[in-house]
Structure 1
Amino acid sequence: MVGSRERERVAGELRRRIRAGDPGPGGRLPSEDELAGLHGADPAAVRGALALLRAEGLVGERDAPGTVVLAPRRAVVRSSERHQWEKDRARADLRERRATGATENDTGSVVDDLEFSARYGRVDADPDLADALGVPKGTALLERVYRTRHRDEDAPFSLTSSYLVLDLVESNPDLLDETREPWPGGTQSQLRTVGVEVDRVEERITARPPTPDEADGLGLGAGAAVMVLRKTSIDTRGRVVDWSEVILPGDRSEAVFTTRLERW
């Protein structure tokens, strides 16, 4: 317990210094032995503190020996109010829809800051997807895999996979074409082109350690967790019209839930 408290104390002192810019991004921390002397701590506690800071994405290693302060990655703040914002934009004019998308809204970026990629493919619903979408196993689906990152960073904000029932959207060939992405206004705007209005969105969030591929894809340090968000969009006829899984890096993502209460 004492060792744990000492580790947390050292981590807190280093965290405050780093956030104050001492040292700034790219700067190196003193050696572990020097840090132990500076903080009056056991070397094991210093190693534990540095491990915590690595998991938080504050420090890392580079080619040369030593621990380097990393530039802070842009945070993603995902609010429950984003869905109404997106629905309102589905009926806005094209210029307004092109100006700012959901990712820009979540990260405070502008369109020119971002690099976006999309990969589409046809898949047959396995038991889990069939259950999520409320369709028979083997139903043809359109799988869409999205990655968006800031131009100054090497990792995307999230790993997103979205599934639509192919029969629902194939009347508009543009919705099957990945080169049309990023679609102004997002998924709700796409669904509107085939006469679908989203009535409600249900989201379930869990946390877990990342898989090796997720850790590599999101640039996560050892010990960092991911948030797994599963989103179900239901239309005004009660059909599930989109099911998505979003893997968010736990070290730079925040989920904000705002619940509007009916007044007395």
Structure 2
Amino acid sequence: MMPSVTSRRHVIADDIRNKISTGRIKAGACLPSEAQLASRYGVSTATLRSALSVLQGEGVVEKIHGKGNFVRHPLRRITYVGGGPWMPSAAESALRVSVRTTNLQAHGQLAGLLGVPVSSPLTEFLCLSHEGKSPHSLARIYVPRDLSPTDVPVESHCCKSVEAKLAELRPPLAEVRERVSARPPTPEEVATLRISPALAVLAITRVAADSTGRVVEAALLVLPGGRADAFFTTHHMTDERTSEG
């Protein structure tokens, strides 16, 4: 019985994965063209692309438009800690953060998140972090214009320096609310994070308010779902009573 297309694509994916894990194909190497691989494995180009999509979904291989399929360097898992900084962490020394600043007006979702009237002035900080040459995570930070610093670095080698600039003008945070969901990536997120469209992302909406209840920052975070963990800790208050003998 001839193997099915589905089983054939997994056989091919397993063979390429094995060659990568044993070092016969090195991290950063460009794979042979799809036509060459299809010929080598005796399958159609469509079946070969299906096999590569398995590896792309696992984060083992990435396809760069116009250049080919490349073996990814092993990436650390991403850890997001609830209630903490908006930027999730890998090893801090390995992260480089680029920041694009845009002034805009509140609309729809943003007006609702920040609790401000439509057309209120806001500032968006689009933060893309990289671990080495590979995209790590994406964050869109929104603050009321009067709390927007003017000297946020365009590029930083540590996300903490960006966070520090954003914290300079805002009052101390009294409450942070977070919503976590898994969803398919948008085409923009696929291109920016260089992930497979079949790989879900972890989307975190973070809203921070001061002691008066004013929302001073809203963050929309996107993490590649295949290597992201989110941790939340709840502290329960107990009523401790001591008895006197």
TM-score where L is the length of structure 1: 0.67
SS at match of 2:135: coil
1:220 to 183, 191, 195: 195
Asked if 1:129 corresponds to 2:110, the answer is yes
For 1:193-212, what aligned pairs fall within 5 Å after superposition? 193-194=168-169, 196-212=171-187
CA distance, structure 1, for counterparts of residue 63 and residue 111 of structure 2: 44
SS at match of 2:233: coil
CA distance, structure 2, for counterparts of residue 130 and residue 47 of structure 1: 43
Deviation at 1:141, TM superposition (A): 1.1
Show structure 1 runs of 5+ residues with no match: 87-101
CA distance, structure 1, for counterparts of residue 126 and residue 89 of structure 2: 19
Show structure 2 runs of 5+ residues with no match: 239-245
Q: Deviations over 1:38-72 (max 9, x none)?
A: xxx9998765433211233323568999x865132
CA distance, structure 2, for counterparts of residue 158 and residue 131 of structure 1: 24
CA distance, structure 1, for counterparts of residue 89 and residue 63 of structure 2: 29
Q: 2:83 touches 2:232 (CA, 8 Å); kept in 1?
A: no
- Provide the residue aligned with 2:56 in structure 1: 54
Q: How high is the sequence identity, in percent, across the aligned residues?
A: 24
For 1:135-150, what aligned pairs fall within 5 Å after superposition? 135-150=116-131
CA distance, structure 1, for counterparts of residue 99 and residue 161 of structure 2: 15
Q: 1:204 touches 1:231 (CA, 8 Å); kept in 2?
A: yes
Q: Deviations over 1:139-164 (max 9, x none)?
A: 111221222224x41x5322321111
SS at match of 2:73: coil
For 1:11-26, what aligned pairs fall within 5 Å after superposition? 11-12=13-14, 14-25=16-27, 26=29
Q: When you count strand as a share of all residues, which structure comes out higher?
A: 2
Give the stretch that moved more between structures: 70-79 or 12-21.
Answer: 12-21
Asked if 1:156 corresponds to 2:130, the answer is no
Aligned length: 230
The amino acid of 2:163's aligned partner reads T
- Provide the residue aligned with 2:242 in structure 1: none
Q: Give the superposed CA RMSD.
A: 3.9
Q: 1:77 touches 1:254 (CA, 8 Å); kept in 2?
A: yes
1:187 to 141, 150, 163: 163
SS at match of 1:162: strand
- Provide the residue aligned with 2:222 in structure 1: 247
CA distance, structure 2, for counterparts of residue 45 and residue 194 of structure 1: 55
- Provide the residue aligned with 1:70 in structure 2: 71
- Provide the residue aligned with 1:229 in structure 2: 204
CA distance, structure 2, for counterparts of residue 14 and residue 126 of structure 1: 47
- Provide the residue aligned with 1:97 in structure 2: none
Q: When you count helix as a share of all residues, which structure comes out higher?
A: 1
TM-score where L is the length of structure 2: 0.71
Residues 220/181 of structure 1: CA separation in 2 closer, same or farther (3 Å cut): closer
